[in-house]
A and B are shown apart, each in its own frame.
Chain A
């Protein structure tokens, strides 16, 4: 399974755009890139998933370059409520378990 590397923590201010980059150099052809968000004392929540290029939903955008060795989660105009841990996962399409790293702890300040 491909290992992921992402910053341990990031700070931002309300209204700013936040970009969290994740490295996955050993990503395989059948792997998808998935991001989850976890608030304190809650279970993780699915944010977005992609295979290549760009994916956008109502919450975030996911940018994946052609070589797929990294990906960037973009959160537009963050608010205090976006303070959470964000996990980047590489998920093969033929397995059934999620392998979580330590994630990126995003702190948004007023």
Chain B
């Protein structure tokens, strides 16, 4: 049973380009969460999705960022017109149920985005 798979592991984009980050949750998991981590800081919640639904996007910047989790295929975090401040590690986590006691979230290895 493969864990949470994120790709690419490293992504370099020039300012103004688009970045697409993919996350395949663990088998049987229908809840996906995206987090962003700047160097030497903790992870910051961005968005929580279930299949075809955005449940909580309170941590998403209002512009340029979007996320989806289609019925088929991986969850996608899209960043349009990237700027240097978007450089960070982006982690995806999945769980079988909503965060509740005894339901842990499993994290992927992350995608390290560098904007040059």
Residues of chain B touching chain A, judged by Cβ–Cβ distance below 8 Å, are 4, 31, 33, 35, 40-45, 48, 55-56, 59, 91-93, 98-102, 104-110, 112
- Does the CB pair A100–B100 fall under 8 Å? no
- Report the minimal beta-carbon distance from A99 to chain B, rounded to whole angstroms: 7
Query: Beta-carbon contacts of A78-99 to B below 8 Å, as 1s and 0s?
Result: 0000000001000101011111
In-complex Cβ contact of A96 among B44, B48, B102, B109 (8 A): B48
Cβ–Cβ < 8 Å partners of B35 in chain A: 98, 100
The docked-state distance in angstroms from the alpha carbon of A91 to that of B95 is: 14
Q: Which residue of B lies closest to A101 (CB)?
A: B42
Establish whether residues B33 and A97, one from each chain, have CB atoms under 8 Å apart when the complex forms: yes
Mark out the residues of chain A between 51 and 110 whose CB falls within 8 Å of any chain B CB in the assembled complex: 51, 87, 91, 93, 95-103
The 4 closest A-B pairs by CB, nearest first: A43-B107, A100-B42, A46-B104, A100-B43
Please, which residue of chain A has its CB at the minimum distance from the CB of B112? A41
Find out whether the CB atom of A43 lies under 8 angstroms from the CB atom of B93: yes
